[in-house]
Amino acid sequence: MNYRSFVLSSSIVSMVSFTEENYLKAIFHLSEQENGKLVSTNDLAEIMQTRAASVTDMLKKLSEKKYIHYKKYQGVALTAEGNSIALKIIRKHRLWEVFLVEKLGFKWDEIHDLAEQLEHIKSQKLTDRLDTFLGHPEFDPHGDPIPNAEGVMPTIRAVKLSEVETGQNFTIMGVSEDSSTFLQHLDRLGLKLGLELKLADISDFDQSLELELDNGQSIRVSSEVARNIQAKVRSVS
């Protein structure tokens, strides 16, 4: 091996592979779901759709690279470095989802699989430019927060529309139901991402919601629809 190919191969070794990135991201999501508890190998195997033995091999590797703390039979947690890598991938994933919906006109139910591929593009410059191009969005089209360039998640969380109070102004941030019948239903109602509305009234009879647009028009949605829309409440100016 000559010097140049040695340098090349060692820089490849130190890079995080596609699979490693997916593991770090999976550990991040699982630990978030479990409120920071150690993530079990079995849960990881299930989410990665692989055998526990393959998971164990990968965990050893990630542990050697100091991306995770791995205690046999107990589970894993991300190190600060592993956490920062996971947040970068999540940031890219969610930014690409915004881009796909807002700029390329993809439907909400089409974007996740594409973002799973796009999130692995390494270029920091591309991510930063994408972020600027999109106007530094805080939420992806599912209403999930986008970590900023420093890896900090926005503190304002989206809430379910069903949790918004009468009289409050809000912006539609995303949906938590991806079925095409639901998305088509929203289309027919004229509800789309980024739309600013006011919750004018909730019916005592069937808990349906009357939403008011800026132009005074109103849209009535069922409580079932409201449970599946993510909203960000805006303070009234």
Nearer to Zn ion, 26 or 115 (CB): 115
How far apart (Å, rounded) are the C-alpha atoms in residues 99 and 111?
Answer: 9
- Give the number of other Cβ atoms within 10 Å of residue 135's Cβ: 9
Question: Stretches 71-79, 100-108, 114-122, 219-227: which one binds Zn ion (CB under 5 A)?
Answer: 114-122
Phi-psi region of 22 (alpha: psi -120 to 50; beta: other; left: phi over 0): alpha
Question: Stretches 58-66, 113-121, 182-190, 202-210: which one binds Zn ion (CB under 5 A)?
Answer: 113-121
State in angstroms the smallest separation of the CB of 157 from Zn ion.
17
Q: For residue 192, give every residue at least 6 positions away whose Cβ sits within 8 Å of its Cβ, in sequence order, or none.
A: 172, 186
Q: Which helix (H) or strand (E) holds 70?
A: strand 68-71
According to the binding rule CB under 5 A, does residue 107 interact with Zn ion? no
174 neighbors 141 (Cβ within 8 angstroms): yes
According to the binding rule CB under 5 A, does residue 112 interact with Zn ion? yes
According to the binding rule CB under 5 A, does residue 120 interact with Zn ion? no
Nearer to Zn ion, 69 or 112 (CB): 112
Interacting positions 137-166 with Zn ion (CB under 5 A):
none
State in angstroms the smallest separation of the CB of 204 from Zn ion.
37
Residues that bind Zn ion (CB under 5 A): 112, 115
